[in-house]
Structure 1
């Protein structure tokens, strides 16, 4: 089958054997695989194994035709404290086996996925082509759960209008929050408007989400947060030091949280909540998915994903297209 792997720092289409599921796994025919900014960063930094198929934003169909999303990180099954508590995103064993990084991922015609990571999408119908967006939505859901459960009536500002920031905004809107997005590019601003996230207004915010990953974004986040407010860092700083504006953080007594991937909370798995967000508001996918390419156009797809100033937000590979 065809699959995308990172060889010599470049994404390449390869011929690889079709996966054979182990016990506790199922075979998924991939219908969409999103390109994450982390795929771009890890390729640039030489962190991707050339023998592993990339892609952790995955949707497709089971053998019986059931539409599903694949959760790329699942509990280790060894009764560890992290996994038992729902924090399998922090389990060292689980993290080593994340699809697309430690095990073959979804930028391929098929992927073998743990049964524990299957999310049925009964209500999404033909939206399976957009359903790989559930994974980055789950990152937003997870962060919002950590920062501010039940955010109804709260003011939330998201700094960064890429896919991560807009997914966090969609999750906050789903929770009933008043949401604003500080976006850099026109296409990002337009997408924020479509999902109901407004322009930055006067006053301060209860929760400010850093989805940009720059020192300037952190400084702006601290400035915009109300006294006693919360800063949520969802962007990955990729090994660089995080510099906080000490005066604002200390004198405003800001709470600082970070979020990575997703897990399970009192309301169930974050990824199930994310699937519900997309099912109830398909406009999120229509606003965020800006480009689609077949697998054999992988070079063009990754080039487009890197050109945010030209309108790319979420670029999706469709292995069923030709």
Structure 2
């Protein structure tokens, strides 16, 4: 079978891989679609994500959907072969203090598909067939197309970030960054009852995608004088991954407001308006991955067809490098999916 493997910075290949065999408690899934994530792009362009550096070839991908093929020993009574599923990419350890406290998303010993955080790396889901623990399978709700279901993982990230912000019902929420995650944060905030969502970005096309999923105001990040630029917001979620976005959030959130840092900043030190956190008693919270939000994401995707607007391109696996180049070009794309073939 074929898979999308990163061998080093700038070295992305479509390699022949052995078909995996599921063991006890595992399922074999035929992958139909895989979403190209920002972290996949970082591995391709920079050889790592934050402090996680590539030390061996790794199959990329953690946003995958497909159909059940077979189970290993002890798999009777689970989802029938042929069932459409989304794959939850995380396997928390279940025993660390964080897991015991119900914060499995920050488990200190988790395994995450397509991650170089540990050695050996955890191989990802960008392959024609993958083996995953059965507890990571989620049946796609009836009527949810697999193409839209491929957004479940990034939407889960967005839902978790909004929940980290607290109750946003009736509030004005600022989102800095209108990439795929930022756009999904917009949708998640509106679903949570936000009265108004303002989004900033440098790219007109990105802002158009944000408007398509519910943003009330879209403004250029480099033009604070533009119409729609807020003087103050209740809550701010930083989804751009750049220090300037965090600075905007801290300067625009009201006194006593909440800022959620979702975008992963570059390695090393970043400028930080810490005095504003003190003098305005701003609550600065991090948001990392997700846990139970995955099931909520699938339910929301099943209800809202407008999420289809965020899938800008579907490209065959054999053209993986072109797909990555397109996904990296935010002026031309939002969410790019790799197509692994089959029906779905």
Distance apart, 1:50 and its partner CA: 4.2
Provide the aligned length of Structure 1 versus Structure 2. 310
Matched, 1:146 2:169: no
Which of 269, 278, 298 is 1:275 aligned to?
298
Contact 1:171 1:277 in 2 (8 A): no
Give CA deviations for 1:181-205 in whole Å, capped at 9, x if unaligned: 1122222111111111121533421
**Aligned residue number for residue 333 of structure 2:** 312
Which of 189, 207, 211 is 1:172 aligned to?
189
Q: 2:19 and 2:55 mapped to 1: Cα distance?
A: 18
Contact 2:59 2:114 in 1 (8 A): yes
- Aligned residue runs from structure 1 range 174-193, under 5 A: 174-177=191-194, 178-193=196-211
The CA RMSD over aligned residues, in Å, is 1.8
Contact 2:113 2:124 in 1 (8 A): yes
TM-score relative to the length of structure 1: 0.91
**Aligned residue number for residue 107 of structure 1:** 126
**Aligned residue number for residue 48 of structure 1:** 54
Give CA deviations for 1:269-318 in whole Å, capped at 9, x if unaligned: 1111111221111212x221111111000111011111112x21111101
Q: Secondary structure at 1:93's aligned position in 2?
A: coil
Larger Rg: 2
Contact 2:8 2:57 in 1 (8 A): no
Unmatched 5+ stretches in structure 1: 264-268
Unmatched 5+ stretches in structure 2: 48-52, 70-80, 116-120, 219-227
Distance apart, 1:212 and its partner CA: 0.8
Q: 1:167 and 1:93 mapped to 2: Cα distance?
A: 28
Which of 76, 91, 99 is 2:93 aligned to?
76
Matched, 1:241 2:269: yes
TM-score relative to the length of structure 2: 0.85
Q: More helix by proportion, 1 or 2?
A: 1
Q: 2:288 and 2:156 mapped to 1: Cα distance?
A: 10
Contact 1:26 1:113 in 2 (8 A): yes
Q: Secondary structure at 1:173's aligned position in 2?
A: helix
Distance apart, 1:49 and its partner CA: 5.0
Q: Secondary structure at 1:104's aligned position in 2?
A: coil
Distance change in 2, residues 1:24/1:275 (3 Å): same
